[in-house]
C-alpha cells in the first residue's frame, strides 16, 4: 500500500538546490558558504572576452544536452567520466539516449562537423558554460561546474600548441595571478597512436610484474587503460609508478621535433615550465602536446586548467581528418584561487547611485539618469516603496552598499539651479561638485 504525501506536507517541504549544484548570487545576498559571488564571475567573463579577443578567438555556444554516444566515442568507454560520472538518461518522448555534457570539446567538434564549419579554413573558438559530472562534491569540485573552453581547429603546427599555453598565461596576468608562483605550467608529449601503443605494451608488462602493488582501481585499468595508472594518487604506489616506462622514451623523431618546437617558443617568451612524464590527461583523444596549469593553494584540487592536442577526434566523430588543440579551465576552481590569494577585484557595482530626496521631481531625475546611461555611465536609481523614497541617511547608506563610486544628489536647491551634486563615495570620499543638467556630455565621462 502506498501513501501519498498530503498537499499541505508538500507545500511545507523545503526546496533546495541539488547537492553539488550551486547558486551564484550577488555579493549583497548573505550566504554561509564561501563560494564566489556573481560580481567576481562577471569580472572574470569580461576579462576572458578581452584576452581572447586579442588573440582572434570567436565565441560560440553548444547545447547542454548531447547524444550519449558522442561522449562514449569521443572520450573513451573506459575513462572515469564515461564509466562513472556522466548524467545520462533516456528521453521519454522518443527513447533517445542523452547526456548532460561532462566537458565541452566533444560538443564543439560535433557542431563543427554538423555545420561543415571548417570548409573555409581553420577556426579559433571559445565558449563558457555549465558541465555536469556525478561525483562527490568537495571544494573546487562540483556536480554542476562551469568551464571556459578554448579550441583551435584545423591548425597542425606546434606554434598553435604554444599559443594555447600563452593564451592561458595572458589570462593569468590580466587576472592578477603570477605564473611560477600562483600557478605553474607542466607539459608533456603523448606522441602518436603507434608510439602510445608501444608504450602501452611496455606499461602492461611492467605493471604485471608489480601486480601485487596495484590497488583495485589500477588492476581494473591494467588491460583497458594502463596509461591512467600513471595518474594514480595512491601514496603506496608512487615509487613503483615513478619507475614505470616513460612515454617520451618511445617517441619518434617527428613527435620529439614537435615537442621541442613547442618548448622553444615557451623558452623564447621566458615562460618557465616542468616536463612531467606522468602527465596524461583524462580523455583518450589527446596526442602530442598536453599541458596543465597547477596550483598549491587549493589542496587536492590542484589543476586549474588543462588541455592539449587531439588531432584524431574530428575524424573519430565522423568528420574529415583535421588537427585540433585546446584547453578547458574550471571557473569555480579558478575563482576560489583568486579568493584564496586575495587578488584585488574591481567593484561590481554601478558607477553612480542616484539619491532622490522626498518631493524631488521624478520625471526630471529619471530623464537625467537615462541621459547618463546613454552616455555609458552605470547608474542605479534609489527606488522608494509606498511610503516614498526614504530618508537621505538611509539612501546614502544604500548608495555606499551598492559599491558605487559616486552619489548623484538631486536636492531641491540643486535642481532649482539646473544642477545635480556629484559626491565621491570612495576615492576622495566626501568631495563634491555641482554639475549642469543641460550639458551631461561634458562631465559624464568623469563618472566612468
Sheet holding 123-132, edge to edge: 58-59, 123-132, 144-153, 324-330, 303-309, 287-294, 184-189, 274-275
- CA angle at 46 for the pair 145 and 25, rounded to the nearest 5°: 50
3-class state of residue 156 by DSSP: coil
Cell for 125? 573558438
Q: What are phi and psi of 76, to 5 degrees?
A: 110, 130
Sign of CA dihedral 280, 281, 285, 286: negative
- At 447 the three-state DSSP class reads helix
* C-alpha cell recorded at residue 306: 588543462
Environment class of 20 (CB within 10 Å of its CB; exposed 0-12, middle 13-18, buried 19+): middle
d(CA 430, CA 10): 53
- Give me the architecture of the 352-447 domain, per CATH: 3-Layer(aba) Sandwich (3.40)
3-state SS class at 184 = strand
pLDDT tens over the chain, length 448 residues = 555 666 666 666 788 888 888 888 888 788 777 788 888 999 999 999 999 999 999 999 999 999 999 988 877 766 667 777 888 989 898 989 999 999 999 999 999 999 999 999 999 999 999 999 988 877 767 899 999 999 999 999 999 999 999 999 999 999 999 988 999 999 999 999 899 889 889 988 998 898 888 888 888 888 777 877 887 778 888 989 889 998 889 999 999 999 999 999 999 999 999 999 888 776 667 899 999 999 988 876 688 999 999 998 999 899 999 999 999 999 999 999 999 899 988 877 789 999 988 878 888 889 999 999 999 999 998 876 545 567 888 888 888 888 889 999 998 888 889 999 999 988 877 788 999 999 999 999 998 8
Beta pairing class for 65-67 and 97-100: antiparallel
Helices 253-268 and 158-175: crossing angle, nearest 10°? 30
- Sorted by where each begins, the domain ranges of the chain are 13-191+251-340, 352-447
Contact assessment for residue 395 and residue 355, using Cβ atoms and an 8 Å cutoff: yes
As a whole number of angstroms, the distance between CA 308 and CA 58 comes to 19
Q: How far is Cα of residue 293 from the mean position of the Cα atoms in its chain? A: 13
Residue 342: CB atoms within 10 A of its CB come to: 8
Torsion of the alpha carbons at 219, 220, 226 and 231, rounded to the nearest 10? -80
Secondary-structure class of domain 13-191+251-340 per CATH: alpha beta
Among 263, 303, 306, 264, residue whose Cα is nearest residue 286:
306
Rounded distance between C-alpha atoms, residue 303 and residue 279, angstroms: 11
Burial class (CB in 10 A: 0-12, 13-18, 19+), 369: buried
Amino acid at each position: 500500500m502506498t501513501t501519498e504525501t498530503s498537499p499541505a506536507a508538500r507545500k511545507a517541504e523545503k526546496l533546495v538546490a541539488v547537492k553539488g549544484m550551486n547558486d551564484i548570487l550577488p555579493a549583497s545576498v548573505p550566504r554561509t558558504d564561501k563560494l564566489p559571488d556573481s560580481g567576481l564571475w562577471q569580472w572574470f567573463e569580461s576579462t576572458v572576452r578581452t584576452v581572447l579577443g586579442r588573440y582572434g578567438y570567436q565565441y560560440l555556444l553548444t547545447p547542454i544536452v548531447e547524444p550519449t554516444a558522442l561522449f562514449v566515442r569521443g572520450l573513451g568507454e573506459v575513462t572515469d567520466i564515461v564509466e562513472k560520472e556522466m548524467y545520462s538518461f533516456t528521453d521519454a518522448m522518443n527513447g533517445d539516449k542523452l547526456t548532460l555534457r561532462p566537458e565541452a570539446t566533444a560538443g564543439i567538434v560535433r557542431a563543427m562537423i554538423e555545420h561543415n564549419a571548417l570548409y573555409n579554413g581553420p577556426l579559433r573558438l571559445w565558449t563558457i558554460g555549465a558541465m555536469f559530472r556525478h561525483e562527490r562534491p568537495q571544494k573546487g569540485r562540483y556536480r554542476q561546474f562551469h568551464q571556459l573552453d578554448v579550441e583551435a581547429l584545423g591548425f597542425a603546427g606546434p606554434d598553435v600548441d604554444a599559443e594555447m599555453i600563452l593564451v592561458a598565461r595572458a589570462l593569468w596576468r590580466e587576472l592578477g595571478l603570477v605564473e611560477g608562483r600562483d600557478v605553474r605550467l607542466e607539459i608533456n608529449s603523448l606522441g602518436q597512436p603507434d608510439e602510445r601503443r608501444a608504450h602501452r605494451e611496455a606499461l602492461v608488462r611492467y605493471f604485471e610484474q608489480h601486480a601485487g602493488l596495484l590497488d583495485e582501481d589500477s588492476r581494473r585499468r591494467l588491460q583497458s587503460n594502463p596509461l591512467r595508472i600513471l595518474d594514480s594518487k595512491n601514496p603506496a604506489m608512487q615509487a613503483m609508478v615513478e619507475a614505470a616506462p616513460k612515454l617520451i622514451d618511445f617517441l619518434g623523431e617527428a613527435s620529439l621535433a614537435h615537442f621541442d618546437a613547442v618548448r622553444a617558443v615557451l623558452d623564447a617568451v621566458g615562460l618557465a615550465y616542468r616536463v612531467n612524464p606522468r602527465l596524461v590527461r583524462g580523455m583518450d583523444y589527446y596526442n602530442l602536446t598536453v599541458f596543465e596549469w597547477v596550483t598549491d593553494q587549493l589542496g587536492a584540487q590542484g589543476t586549474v586548467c588543462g588541455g592539449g592536442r587531439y588531432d584524431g577526434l574530428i575524424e573519430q566523430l565522423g568528420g574529415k581528418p583535421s588537427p585540433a588543440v585546446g584547453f578547458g579551465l574550471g571557473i569555480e576552481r579558478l575563482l576560489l584561487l583568486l579568493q584564496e590569494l586575495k587578488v584585488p577585484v574591481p567593484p561590481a557595482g554601478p558607477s553612480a547611485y542616484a539619491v532622490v530626496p522626498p518631493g524631488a521631481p521624478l520625471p526630471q531625475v529619471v530623464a537625467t539618469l537615462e541621459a547618463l546611461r546613454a552616455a555609458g555611465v552605470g547608474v542605479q536609481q534609489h527606488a522608494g516603496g509606498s511610503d516614498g523614497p526614504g530618508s537621505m541617511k538611509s539612501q546614502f547608506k544604500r548608495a555606499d552598499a551598492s559599491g558605487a563610486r559616486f552619489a548623484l544628489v538631486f536636492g531641491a536647491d540643486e535642481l532649482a539651479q539646473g544642477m545635480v551634486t556629484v559626491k565621491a563615495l570612495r576615492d576622495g570620499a566626501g568631495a563634491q561638485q555641482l554639475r549642469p543638467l543641460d550639458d551631461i556630455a561634458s562631465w559624464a565621462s568623469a563618472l566612468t
